[in-house]
Structure 1
Amino acid sequence: MSKARLIITAITIEHCTQAEAARRYGVSPGWVSKLMARYVAEGESALEPRSRAPKHGPTRISATTIALIMQLRTQLLERGLDAGAHTIAWHLTHHHNVTVAPATIWRHLRTAGLIEPQPQKRPRSSYIRFEAALPNETWQADFTHWPLSNGTDSEILSFIDDHSRYALSVTAHHRVTGPIVRTVFAQTTAEHGIPASTLTDNGMVFTTRLSGGRGQNVFEHDLARLGIQQKNGHPYHPQTQGKVERLQQTMKKWLTHRPRPHDLLELQLLLDAFTDEYNHRRPHRALERTTPAAAYAARPKATPNRSESEQRARVRTDTIDNHGRITLRHAGRLHHIGLGRTLARTRVIVLIDGLEIRVVHRSTGELIRELTLDTTRDYQPQQPRNPRT
């Protein structure tokens, strides 16, 4: 017999007072009073167990928002784009002015049967990630295969910037050869500048170092002539070129959702559309949900003339303090740079080239302030003071 029924029996049949029943069964008098009120109003149903779940969820998202999540999931998948919880959260914030936590989105997708948990997958936190500090510090390159509608094979050559994941060049060919790599590389450097280094696998179109030959191929010759450092991954370890490998995976997923091209011209048109989407409109999780184009344009470009240590010395991450300032040291002296209290606690990237200082928003890539450091003053105000007349 439940405690509630025992208390009701003691009061209605044994004629105990509510206070006596509360003492006998170790409950509060207030709870006994509420129980009796429910019993008088509802009868025997008042003795049934009741759920303790809250009747209202202040953080529960609306049915309209849930439907929008499902719609975005479907639309992104149909376009061959990433449709994970973080991407959907970004689209909700930027395109629908709705803020929902990725964990909440993931939970509703799982409840709807649209995703399955995969606990066997290796967690992201276990990976050791390497990233160039500046655009053009390292370019990764690789090629992959894609069949045309008539059954013939084609090959897609890709160059990607290691720092920003910006797709520098994605081109279609019947077969990628050494001269083609040389030509595409020359076209890419003419458009984006000369990189400080390249990173590729050990394919013969990129290097002859494992072929037993003593000479260089045309790509290696051009790199040496331009002073570009050539780096190659370990054999059978594609993770070294993980960024270009990931680009190719994303590209193939996107191509799968389009009609199979009949020839190289149609394939190239598709690749141009993909590259535009990837660089300018697709938020990248590794870039704090900004686009590769914004990340590529946010910092000055590295060149072969500067060593890697010199390039890294020019980049510093910081957080604007509560007074709207950042502090840096020059020639042993601290200088405070005013950026405005409205930007307090904003994470920024500080680019230092001698006395030339640029402060860039870490998430959006927006230039916050550019100045020449006045070494005679400890504080660099937001606006230069007007000279006295």
Structure 2
Amino acid sequence: MKETNRNRVIVLAITEGNLTVLEAATRYNVSKRWIYTLLARYRTGGLDAVDPQPRRPHSNPNATDKATITTILKLRARLIAEGLDAGPESIWDRLPAQTRPSTATIWRILRRNNTITDQPQKRPRSSWHRFEAAAPNETWQSDFTHWPLTDGTDAKIISWLDDHSRMLLHATAYPEITGRVVIDTFTQTMDTYAPPASTLTDNGMVYTTRFSRGHDGRPKQPNGFEQLLSDMGIVQKNGAAHHPTTQGKVERYHQTLKLWLAADGLVATFEALDTQLVRFAHVYNTQRPHRAIGRRTPETAYTAISKAVPVIDIADTIWRVRYDQVDATGTISIRYAGKLRHLGIGRAWARKRVLLLIQGPETMVIDRDAGEIIAEHTLDASKDYQKKK
């Protein structure tokens, strides 16, 4: 018998059937105290009052207030409209610290208001195996993706991403991605951020020819990008074939990029797309906290600790490598012993791109194109201008 029916039967058996409380307790196997409770409810509210009462409290002092719920839903809609991540953690980052609930509460609010759906097919986070460079510039990831212009032209966007911080170092669009484009974008990025200790890309021919063979069956010669990395002592790493998750950070970045571009709207020219990419890089690097780096922005993570550098072993001596350009006066500026120093190279080499090798106070400047040493110095901490040997 249902609890509702039994309670009513007990009350009616006493009030209409003239059973005593003791007889009713014995017949229906309940306590006399419970029967007296039912009779008290009956006298004040009738039969409806003896039905089981909900145990849920009338109010919850810990419930999220309506204003916060409204703010959460508005933030969700705004982030989606802007093409940014709109999950509970992204919303949490943007709520006032003194009023924001937990990310689990935000998720329940979104789910209760039908703004998200469960995705049980996703792998649990505990099954992920994450690999992350220990320092900025330890590894740069690169790849390119497709994006249409308004007339349907297929633009290719090449990006360079720091593995440690997720900092977007470079993103530009081209009709085609060639070996020359890879080299030019890489050197432009080095001009701004200094060279990385290693790179990680897929096995595309613009990045590597090590897995390709010519018509004679022999391995192909290294392409220009591979030769540049070799000259600079930069370790080249390539993901295994058919395993794009090796470059998972740049693949995930592409998803964020395309959501933002779609929300911002298609443009008609490559120049306009490059302008969009500059704006996106600012948002991505400085305004968007990233879960994988402790809810910091990529720029914050990139500048938090010292950067890694490539090294070259020459005659059992380890030299740090810097990619540089001789200025118009024929010098290169470096910081040594806490002060800026100017290395004399010679006006004949003005604007020349070179490799600068540093080992303690010793330096070696190499013309990268010719592969020859053009200057050497023993740094003197008491002088600003350093004459070459």
The bucket for the TM-score relative to the shorter chain is: 0.7 to 0.9
Q: How far apart, CA to CA, are the structure 2 residues paired with 1:244 and 1:201?
A: 11
1:241 Cα deviation from its structure 2 partner: 0.7
| Equivalence map 1:56-67=2 (5 Å) | 56-67=59-70
Residue in structure 1 matching 2:91, options 88, 92, 99: 88
In 2, the alpha carbon distance for the partners of 1:275 and 1:135 equals 17
Q: Name which of structure 1's ranges 134-143 and 13-22 shifts more when overlaid on structure 2.
A: 13-22
Which deviates more, 109-118 or 257-266? 109-118
Q: How does 1:263-342 map to 2 (within 5 A)?
A: 263-305=269-311
The residue aligned with 1:174 is 175
TM-score by length of 1: 0.73
Secondary structure, aligned partner of 1:179? helix
1:160 is matched by which residue type in structure 2?
L
Mapped to 2, the partners of 1:28 and 1:99 lie a distance apart of 48
Q: Specify the alignment match of 1:221 in structure 2.
A: 227
Matched, 1:73 2:76: yes
Q: Assess, with a 3 A threshold, how the Cα gap between structure 1 residues 93 and 125 changes in structure 2: closer, same or farther.
A: farther
Aligned residue number for residue 40 of structure 1: 43
1:291-346 deviation line (CA, Å, top 9, x unaligned):
11111111211111399xxxxxxxxxxxxxxxxxxxxxxxxxxxxxxxxxxxxxxx
1:54-96 residue CA offsets vs partner (Å, 9 max, x unmatched): 22223321222222221111100000001112211222245xx
Shift of the 191–40 alpha-carbon distance from structure 1 to 2, 3 Å rule, reads: same
From the CA coordinates, give the structure whose radius of gyration is larger: 2
**1:112 deviation in Å?**
2.3
Q: How many residues end up aligned between the 2 structures?
A: 305
CA distance in 2, matches of 1:43, 1:6: 13
Is 1:51 aligned with 2:54? yes
Deviates more, 1:218-227 or 1:64-73: 64-73
1:31 pairs, out of 8, 31, 34, with 34
CA distance in 2, matches of 1:306, 1:5: 90
Q: CA deviation at 1:103?
A: 2.4
The answer for unaligned runs of 5 or more in structure 1 is: 308-389
Q: Alpha-carbon deviation of 1:5?
A: 2.8
Question: For residues 284 and 32 of structure 2, what CA distance do their matches in structure 1 show?
Answer: 66
Equivalences for residues 175-190 of structure 1 within 5 A: 175-190=176-191
C-alpha distance in structure 1 between counterparts of 2:99 and 2:257, whole Å: 29
Matches within 5 A, 1:370-381: none
Please give the secondary structure, in 2, of the residue aligned with 1:170: strand
After superposition, the Cα gap between the structure-2 partners of 1:93 and 1:31, relative to the gap in structure 1 and judged at 3 Å, is farther
Displacement of 1:29 after TM fit?
4.6
Residue 242 (1) aligns with residue 248 (2): yes
- Percent identity over paired residues: 49
Superposed CA deviations along residues 210-230 of structure 1, whole A, max 9, x for unmatched, are 221432211111111111000
Q: How does 1:120-269 map to 2 (within 5 A)?
A: 120-212=121-213, 213-269=219-275
Per-residue Cα deviation, 1:265-312 (whole angstroms, up to 9, x for no partner):
1101110111110111101111121111111111211111399xxxxx
Aligned partners of 2:146 and 2:12: how far apart in 1? Answer: 81
Distance in 2 (alpha carbons) for counterparts of 1:99 and 1:150: 44
Counterpart CA distance in 2 for 1:275 and 1:238 is: 23
Q: Distance in 2 between matches of 1:266 and 1:202?
A: 30
Structure 2: how far apart are the matches of 1:67 and 1:28? 48
Q: 1:14 to 1:149 in 2, by over 3 A?
A: closer
- Structure 1 residue 101, shift from structure 2 partner: 2.3
Q: Which runs of 4+ in 1 moved over 6 A?
A: none
Residue number in structure 1 paired with 2:107? 106
Q: Please name the residue that 2:335 is paired with.
A: none
The alpha carbon displacement at 1:110 in A equals 2.3
State the secondary structure of the residue aligned to 1:158. Answer: strand
Contact 2:8 2:47 in 1 (8 A): no
- Which runs of no fewer than 5 residues in structure 2 stay unpaired? 214-218, 314-389
Query: Residues 84 and 260 of structure 2 are in contact (CA less than 8 Å); yes or no, is this contact kept in structure 1?
Result: yes
Deviations 1:121-140 (A, max 9, x none): 22232221111111111110
TM (norm. structure 2) is 0.73
The 3-state SS of whatever aligns with 1:257 is: helix
Letter in 1 for 2:294: E
What root-mean-square deviation, in Å, do the aligned CA atoms of Structure 1 and Structure 2 show? 2.2
Give how far 1:9 is off: 3.7
How far apart, CA to CA, are the structure 2 residues paired with 1:306 and 1:242?
Answer: 29
